[in-house]
Structure 1
Amino acid sequence: MTETFEAEKAQAAAWFRTLRDEIVTAFHALENRHEGSAPAGRFEVRKTTRSADDGADAGGGEMSVMRGGRVFEKVGVNISTVHGTLGARAQAAMAARKGIPGMVDDPRFWASGISLVAHMQNPHAPAVHMNTRMFWTPHAWWFGGGADLNPCIEYAEDTAHFHAEMKRACDPHGGALYDELKAWADEYFYIPHRKRARGVGGIFFDDLNTGNWAADFKLTQDTGAAFLPAFVPLVDRRHQTPWDEADKDIQLRHRGLYAEYNLVYDRGTKFGLETGHDPEAVLMSLPPMAKWY
């Protein structure tokens, strides 16, 4: 069995909150330095809860959402720290994916993380997703996360910049790591029924447990910290690009891909709903408007 990891849990949860605060501050700054017909957007913050079957305290978090701003049409930056016992279906999924022994005998869990999705006003500015998380059971612990860029109108230089920042975060942890995590993202963010990726990729990892908690946490921190320098310059570059209704139509149809992926395939969406977390927080990732034909 693993140790209780109380100090490590507290350290991880505190860092996810710090990263949330840094991102919210940076996004407020983006809203204020770009002109637009709408007033600068502000995040609305509310508490979220997880519902335990027996009514016991099961943790929760904070949902920070901005809607209808100058730059962001909708952006959410959520943090959560939840705990309890996994239901039978969640136990089976964990045991199958991670090979965790003893899950049926002791299905307790603890999880904390940050999850971000941004949908932009200007069709030339890319949508983006980022999350990092730590998961603990009495028999295992691991980290997961990553970030991927989802432009509806692609610019090669934007893709190159985003990937360069992801690589910069990975390189101190091993020269081959970026290629490995990029390939994992390409596989994970693929939409089989559309036979295409939902965006231009990024990095993704899960089940990270090398046996060295501090080293694994540092990789998680470095990939999370890479998000703002990877994304903010792209918004600054594209937000003032003129666009027309044809561009908006392309954006709305591309958002349909994003919605399909998150509702059909995304593990985080499935886990959040399966374990009783606030559905508004779990489904925060969905775009405010989308289109299908």
Structure 2
Amino acid sequence: MQADFEARKAQASGWFHQLRDQIVAAFEELEARATPEGETPCRFEVSPTTRKDGGGGLMSVLRGGRVFEKVGVNWSAVHGQLAEKAQKAMAARGVPGMSADPRFWASGISLVAHMVNPHSPAVHMNTRMFWTPGAWWFGGGADLNPCIEYAEDTAHFHAEMQRACDAHSADYYPRFKAWADEYFFIPHRGRARGVGGIFFDDHNTGDWDRDFAFTKAVGEAFLPAFLPVTEKRRGTAWSEADREAQLIHRGLYAEYNLVYDRGTKFGLETGHDANAVLMSLPPIAKWY
């Protein structure tokens, strides 16, 4: 069984890396199309990251583009031993195998984009695999975060997420949409951080190949869900009032990620590169 999972770990981390490469290439192509002839398009700056107790990854960030004010696409494969706090948090949500053996391995891709045009929605996506000697599972999802909502953009994004889910189970989309609505809710503001999407975690049906195929489908749905919305909105005229609304909405996004997000907490608590963990924060934000 252990040998089988070594091969599966390599398969999963390799696919997450491949998805990272596809998204980076698509975003750089979008920037190139938006850049006037004679100017040099913005490209991603790529930096290796390390986790002090084992593993690392790639942090890829593009700043100051024509389309993206800041976008990060991170890939990682890390391993080591879970701290007691992380073990307790996982055990509390029903993950088995936490107390007997603290070893873990995890790999995934995490993406957050903050846009130049206030009419173009920010977005988040991640997919991941987690392994311990007592359990394995997949998690991930994607959610759209407009400061100025267009109903047709929301409908398109959700339709692509539903298409990915429905190909694997009719139950997945309604269940994981509801989970996203709950997970991306900000209690101290009494509102969601965006217009939702899907979210799933601790996903293990007992069939690794089936669960990995579903996780890949979610990752593959991201570009078809996001790029058409971005192409439609990136040239929309905007005002200073629109920019103000965007910056205030970014403040909401930052509050959520710093106070509630599981990935942020896990990354900081397990010693991963802090810059990579906090890549999701916007470059500029405002509060009242």
- TM-score bucket (shorter structure): over 0.9
**TM-score normalised to the size of structure 1?**
0.95
Q: Does 1:48 pair with 2:43?
A: no
- The answer for the alignment partner of 1:224 in structure 2 is 219
Counterparts of residues 104-253 of structure 1 (less than 5 Å): 104-253=99-248
Partner Cα separation in structure 1 for residue 270 and residue 95 of structure 2 = 19
2:95–2:202 contact (8 Å) kept in structure 1:
no
Q: Does 1:13 pair with 2:24?
A: no
Q: Among residues 73, 82, 89, which one is paired with 1:86 in the alignment?
A: 82
Partner Cα separation in structure 2 for residue 274 and residue 172 of structure 1 = 36
Partner Cα separation in structure 1 for residue 95 and residue 208 of structure 2 = 19
Aligned to 2:93, the other structure's residue is in SS state helix
- The answer for the alignment partner of 1:55 in structure 2 is none
Q: Does 1:61 pair with 2:61?
A: no
Partner Cα separation in structure 1 for residue 149 and residue 118 of structure 2 = 10
1:148–1:202 contact (8 Å) kept in structure 2:
yes
Deviations 1:149-181 (A, max 9, x none): 000100000000000000110111111211111
Deviations 1:45-75 (A, max 9, x none): 01000012xxxxx000000000001100000
Structure 2: gaps of 5 or more residues:
none
Partner Cα separation in structure 1 for residue 87 and residue 36 of structure 2 = 48
Deviations 1:154-213 (A, max 9, x none): 000000000000011011111121111100100000000000000000000000000000
**TM-score normalised to the size of structure 2?**
0.97
- The answer for the alignment partner of 2:2 in structure 1 is 3
**Could you tell me which amino acid in structure 1 is paired with residue 190 of structure 2?**
K
Aligned to 1:226, the other structure's residue is in SS state helix
After superposition, the CA RMSD in angstroms is: 1.3
Partner Cα separation in structure 2 for residue 66 and residue 134 of structure 1 = 26
Q: Does 1:273 pair with 2:268?
A: yes
Deviations 1:243-276 (A, max 9, x none): 1111000000000000000000000000000000
Partner Cα separation in structure 2 for residue 246 and residue 35 of structure 1 = 25
Aligned to 2:78, the other structure's residue is in SS state strand
**Could you tell me which amino acid in structure 1 is paired with residue 248 of structure 2?**
R
Q: Relative to 1, partners in 2 of residues 1:125 and 1:232: Cα closer, same or farther, differing over 3 Å?
A: same
1:105, distance to aligned residue in structure 2 (A) = 3.1
Deviations 1:125-163 (A, max 9, x none): 000000000000000000000000000100000000000
Identity of aligned residues (%): 72
Aligned to 1:51, the other structure's residue is in SS state coil
1:104, distance to aligned residue in structure 2 (A) = 2.9
1:106, distance to aligned residue in structure 2 (A) = 1.2
Structure 1: gaps of 5 or more residues:
53-57
Q: Does 1:72 pair with 2:30?
A: no
2:118–2:243 contact (8 Å) kept in structure 1:
yes
Aligned to 2:62, the other structure's residue is in SS state strand
1:189–1:198 contact (8 Å) kept in structure 2:
yes
Q: Relative to 1, partners in 2 of residues 1:211 and 1:26: Cα closer, same or farther, differing over 3 Å?
A: same
Partner Cα separation in structure 1 for residue 231 and residue 101 of structure 2 = 49
Aligned to 1:100, the other structure's residue is in SS state coil
Partner Cα separation in structure 2 for residue 36 and residue 206 of structure 1 = 42
Partner Cα separation in structure 2 for residue 34 and residue 149 of structure 1 = 22
Deviations 1:114-135 (A, max 9, x none): 0000000000000000000000
Deviations 1:210-234 (A, max 9, x none): 0000000000000000000000001
1:185–1:203 contact (8 Å) kept in structure 2:
yes
Partner Cα separation in structure 2 for residue 158 and residue 175 of structure 1 = 23
